[in-house]
Amino acid sequence: MSSLTHFDDAGAPRMVDVSAKAVTARTARAHAFVRMSAKALAALDRNPKGNPLEIARVAGIMAAKKTAELIPLCHSLPLSHVDVVTRVASNGIHIESVASTTAQTGVEMEALTAATVAALTIYDMTKALDKSIEIAEVWLLEKTGGKSGDYRRPEPRAE
Protein backbone atom coordinates (compact mmCIF):
# COMPACT_ATOMS: atom_id res chain seq x y z
CA MET A 1 0.00 0.00 0.00
CA SER A 2 1.19 3.51 -0.79
CA SER A 3 2.38 5.73 2.09
CA LEU A 4 0.48 8.56 0.42
CA THR A 5 -3.08 8.09 1.63
CA HIS A 6 -4.83 9.55 -1.41
CA PHE A 7 -3.07 7.26 -3.92
CA ASP A 8 -3.36 3.49 -4.42
CA ASP A 9 -0.43 1.14 -5.07
CA ALA A 10 -0.53 1.98 -8.79
CA GLY A 11 -0.40 5.72 -8.10
CA ALA A 12 -4.03 6.40 -8.99
CA PRO A 13 -5.94 8.88 -6.83
CA ARG A 14 -8.43 7.40 -4.40
CA MET A 15 -10.72 8.42 -1.61
CA VAL A 16 -9.31 7.28 1.73
CA ASP A 17 -11.32 4.53 3.44
CA VAL A 18 -12.18 5.88 6.89
CA SER A 19 -14.62 3.11 7.82
CA ALA A 20 -12.28 1.65 10.46
CA LYS A 21 -11.68 5.02 12.13
CA ALA A 22 -13.47 5.97 15.32
CA VAL A 23 -16.32 8.47 15.22
CA THR A 24 -15.20 11.46 17.28
CA ALA A 25 -16.16 15.09 17.78
CA ARG A 26 -14.09 17.26 15.46
CA THR A 27 -13.84 21.01 14.90
CA ALA A 28 -11.78 23.29 12.69
CA ARG A 29 -11.32 27.04 12.44
CA ALA A 30 -9.95 28.82 9.38
CA HIS A 31 -9.02 32.37 8.40
CA ALA A 32 -8.98 34.47 5.25
CA PHE A 33 -8.30 38.16 4.68
CA VAL A 34 -9.72 40.43 1.99
CA ARG A 35 -7.40 43.40 1.50
CA MET A 36 -9.07 46.51 0.04
CA SER A 37 -8.80 50.28 -0.04
CA ALA A 38 -10.05 52.53 2.73
CA LYS A 39 -12.49 54.02 0.20
CA ALA A 40 -14.05 50.61 -0.47
CA LEU A 41 -14.21 49.81 3.25
CA ALA A 42 -15.96 53.11 3.95
CA ALA A 43 -18.58 52.29 1.30
CA LEU A 44 -19.48 48.82 2.64
CA ASP A 45 -22.67 50.00 4.32
CA ARG A 46 -23.81 51.76 1.14
CA ASN A 47 -23.12 48.87 -1.23
CA PRO A 48 -25.85 48.78 -3.89
CA LYS A 49 -25.68 44.95 -3.98
CA GLY A 50 -26.53 44.69 -0.26
CA ASN A 51 -24.48 44.04 2.85
CA PRO A 52 -21.38 42.17 1.60
CA LEU A 53 -20.47 40.90 5.06
CA GLU A 54 -23.82 39.24 5.73
CA ILE A 55 -24.04 37.80 2.23
CA ALA A 56 -20.47 36.45 2.65
CA ARG A 57 -21.41 34.86 5.97
CA VAL A 58 -24.30 32.97 4.39
CA ALA A 59 -22.21 32.06 1.32
CA GLY A 60 -19.48 30.63 3.55
CA ILE A 61 -21.94 28.51 5.50
CA MET A 62 -23.50 27.22 2.29
CA ALA A 63 -20.07 26.47 0.81
CA ALA A 64 -18.98 24.42 3.82
CA LYS A 65 -22.01 22.21 3.25
CA LYS A 66 -20.91 21.65 -0.38
CA THR A 67 -17.21 20.97 0.24
CA ALA A 68 -17.34 17.32 -0.86
CA GLU A 69 -18.83 18.45 -4.18
CA LEU A 70 -15.98 20.94 -4.74
CA ILE A 71 -12.92 19.00 -3.52
CA PRO A 72 -12.76 15.67 -5.38
CA LEU A 73 -11.50 13.33 -2.63
CA CYS A 74 -13.24 14.90 0.38
CA HIS A 75 -15.74 12.85 2.33
CA SER A 76 -19.31 14.07 2.74
CA LEU A 77 -19.73 15.01 6.38
CA PRO A 78 -22.77 15.53 8.59
CA LEU A 79 -21.95 19.04 9.77
CA SER A 80 -23.36 19.87 13.18
CA HIS A 81 -22.30 23.53 13.09
CA VAL A 82 -20.81 26.06 10.68
CA ASP A 83 -20.37 29.77 11.25
CA VAL A 84 -18.53 32.62 9.59
CA VAL A 85 -17.60 35.86 11.33
CA THR A 86 -16.19 38.97 9.67
CA ARG A 87 -14.27 41.82 11.24
CA VAL A 88 -13.44 45.06 9.43
CA ALA A 89 -9.85 46.27 9.85
CA SER A 90 -8.18 49.42 8.56
CA ASN A 91 -6.91 47.66 5.42
CA GLY A 92 -9.52 44.98 4.80
CA ILE A 93 -11.78 42.34 6.25
CA HIS A 94 -10.76 39.41 8.43
CA ILE A 95 -12.89 36.30 8.00
CA GLU A 96 -12.97 33.46 10.49
CA SER A 97 -14.95 30.29 9.99
CA VAL A 98 -15.66 27.33 12.24
CA ALA A 99 -17.02 23.91 11.34
CA SER A 100 -17.95 21.02 13.63
CA THR A 101 -18.99 17.42 13.17
CA THR A 102 -19.05 14.06 14.86
CA ALA A 103 -17.55 11.78 12.23
CA GLN A 104 -14.65 9.56 11.16
CA THR A 105 -12.69 12.33 9.46
CA GLY A 106 -11.97 15.99 10.10
CA VAL A 107 -13.62 19.23 9.00
CA GLU A 108 -10.55 21.26 8.04
CA MET A 109 -11.56 21.46 4.39
CA GLU A 110 -15.08 22.60 5.31
CA ALA A 111 -13.72 25.43 7.48
CA LEU A 112 -11.21 26.45 4.79
CA THR A 113 -13.90 26.33 2.10
CA ALA A 114 -16.22 28.49 4.21
CA ALA A 115 -13.55 31.15 4.77
CA THR A 116 -12.43 31.15 1.13
CA VAL A 117 -15.92 31.36 -0.38
CA ALA A 118 -16.82 34.12 2.08
CA ALA A 119 -13.73 36.01 0.85
CA LEU A 120 -14.68 35.44 -2.79
CA THR A 121 -18.20 36.70 -2.05
CA ILE A 122 -16.87 39.90 -0.49
CA TYR A 123 -14.67 40.34 -3.56
CA ASP A 124 -17.64 39.83 -5.88
CA MET A 125 -19.84 42.27 -3.99
CA THR A 126 -17.19 45.02 -3.72
CA LYS A 127 -15.19 44.72 -6.95
CA ALA A 128 -17.01 47.75 -8.41
CA LEU A 129 -15.60 49.82 -5.53
CA ASP A 130 -11.99 48.68 -5.78
CA LYS A 131 -10.29 46.84 -8.65
CA SER A 132 -7.19 46.05 -6.56
CA ILE A 133 -8.86 43.85 -3.94
CA GLU A 134 -6.70 40.93 -2.81
CA ILE A 135 -7.64 37.69 -1.10
CA ALA A 136 -4.81 36.57 1.15
CA GLU A 137 -3.89 34.78 4.35
CA VAL A 138 -6.06 31.71 3.91
CA TRP A 139 -5.02 29.18 6.52
CA LEU A 140 -6.15 26.70 9.13
CA LEU A 141 -6.14 28.28 12.60
CA GLU A 142 -6.83 25.12 14.55
CA LYS A 143 -8.40 21.70 14.51
CA THR A 144 -9.49 19.34 17.26
CA GLY A 145 -10.27 15.64 17.40
CA GLY A 146 -9.24 12.66 15.39
CA LYS A 147 -6.26 10.32 15.38
CA SER A 148 -3.70 13.05 14.68
CA GLY A 149 -4.89 15.07 17.68
CA ASP A 150 -5.25 18.79 18.08
CA TYR A 151 -3.44 21.45 16.07
CA ARG A 152 -3.15 25.17 16.64
CA ARG A 153 -1.37 27.43 14.16
CA PRO A 154 1.55 29.18 15.84
CA GLU A 155 1.23 32.93 16.17
CA PRO A 156 3.23 34.71 13.46
CA ARG A 157 6.59 36.00 14.61
CA ALA A 158 6.97 39.76 14.86
CA GLU A 159 9.19 41.06 12.07
Where does residue 64 rank: exposed (0-12), middle (13-18), buried (19+ CB within 10 A)? buried
Rounded Cα distance between 11 and 3, Å, is 11
Query: Dihedrals φ, ψ of 105, to 5°?
Result: -145, 160
Rounded Cα distance between 145 and 101, Å, is 10
Rounded Cα distance between 41 and 88, Å, is 8
DSSP 82: E
Rounded Cα distance between 5 and 115, Å, is 26
One of 8, 9, 45, 124 is an active-site residue; which one?
124
Task: Judge whether 9 counts as a catalytic residue.
Answer: no
Query: Dihedrals φ, ψ of 4, to 5°?
Result: -90, 115
Active-site residues: which are they?
Answer: 124
